[in-house]
Amino acid sequence: MKKTTLTIISCLFTFFMYSQEENIQKKIDSIEKTFRYEHGSVNLKNGIGKINVPNGFKYLNPVQAERVLVDLWGNPKGENLTLGLLLPENQGVMSQIGYVFNIQYDEIGHVEDDDADDVNYDDLLTEMQKETVEENKERQKEGYAPVSIVGWAAKPFYDKDRKILHWAKEIKFGQDSLNTLNYNVRILGRKGVLVLNAIATENELPLVQKDISKVLDIVQFNDGYKYEDFDSSVDEVAAWTIGGLVAGKVLAKVGFFAIFLKFGKIIVLSLLGFFGVFKNKIKGWFSKSKNTENEEEIESEVALIQEKSEVEEEVKEEIN
């Protein structure tokens, strides 16, 4: 009798989990269908220039991009949050594997690049790692997990002819077992820099590196906004040079990435939440049983099923 009961529980549990996963996937699919992507040449809303969407990619305008960043990924609203998202054609914003570039413009002034050949990026990395120790004290006071820079995922490189700087950091949030990839691209203009930040995990580094050459040339500044249009008599010079752009403020530039890592866990937590309700129902079915020993054994088996489920979901979380 006991084996039959446990078999029924196991079958019901399997059916329940499959059903919930199917429902969640349907919800994700329905959300994905609400987005309208663009291709070809796209004018940026601030008038500084345009994005030439490369083959194999698609662009999501600022209104829809903000919906993704704020409503779906949980980031706080803010000024100049996004000029749009760029992502591979065969990928959705809800995909758990892949990457997305968030596009921004930072009007920090004209960045002089005289120091580009003199920066020791290994020394710079050491300094950045030390800074995060102090910054984490404040971060933890506010209830956030500490951040640590593991190292360069791709060492900084500056193309002086094209005025393009790009680099990647591997970052660890709290005790997360999967590190975050912080891939940065800065295209220098007359009065500031166009920013492309890749939102991804370390597992996606090969994907980003494979596609990065296609992304570097997508920006075309309008006349009057190009780097060579700088006029020292009227334009401000940025406080940051090339080394300063790479150093930046680490905690100010990685907020999106932490949220993106957590996104994969939303589905996991939902499933575990559903399981909690399901487990309580199972226990209720047998709460009136006269055989206390069988009751305890059944509850023990249910606990084992739950433990197995949690382990499986942890594995999914690792993958995400």
CB atoms within 10 A of CB 134: 9
To which H or E segment does residue 172 belong?
strand 164-173
pLDDT for position 159: 95
Torsion of CA 232, 236, 241, 245, to 10 degrees: -140
pTM over 0.75: no
Eight-state DSSP code of residue 77: P
- Give dist(CA 317, CA 320) in Å, integer: 5
- Residue 19's nearest CA partner among 27, 34, 96, 286 is 27
Side chain identity, residue 119? V
- Give dist(CA 256, CA 263) in Å, integer: 11
- Residue 179's nearest CA partner among 145, 209, 211, 156 is 145
CA dist 1 → 4, 285, 300 (Å): 5, 15, 16
Exposed/middle/buried for 270, CB within 10 Å: 0-12, 13-18, 19+? Answer: middle
Do 197 and 101 touch, CB atoms closer than 8 A? yes
Do 178 and 205 touch, CB atoms closer than 8 A? no
- Residue 58's nearest CA partner among 18, 103, 108, 24 is 103
pLDDT for position 198: 87
Give the pLDDT of the chain (320 residues) as one tens digit per residue.
555 655 665 665 565 555 556 666 777 778 888 999 999 999 998 899 999 999 999 999 999 999 988 888 766 677 788 999 999 999 988 887 888 999 999 999 999 999 899 999 999 999 989 888 888 888 788 777 788 889 999 999 999 999 999 999 888 888 877 787 888 999 999 999 999 988 887 788 888 888 998 999 899 999 999 999 999 999 999 988 899 899 875 334 334 444 444 343 333 333 334 334 333 433 344 344 444 445 455 455 445 445 545 544 543 444 34
pLDDT for position 37: 96
- Give dist(CA 280, CA 18) in Å, integer: 18
- Residue 93's nearest CA partner among 132, 120, 130, 64 is 64
pLDDT for position 10: 62
pLDDT for position 124: 92
Do 175 and 317 touch, CB atoms closer than 8 A? no
pLDDT for position 289: 43
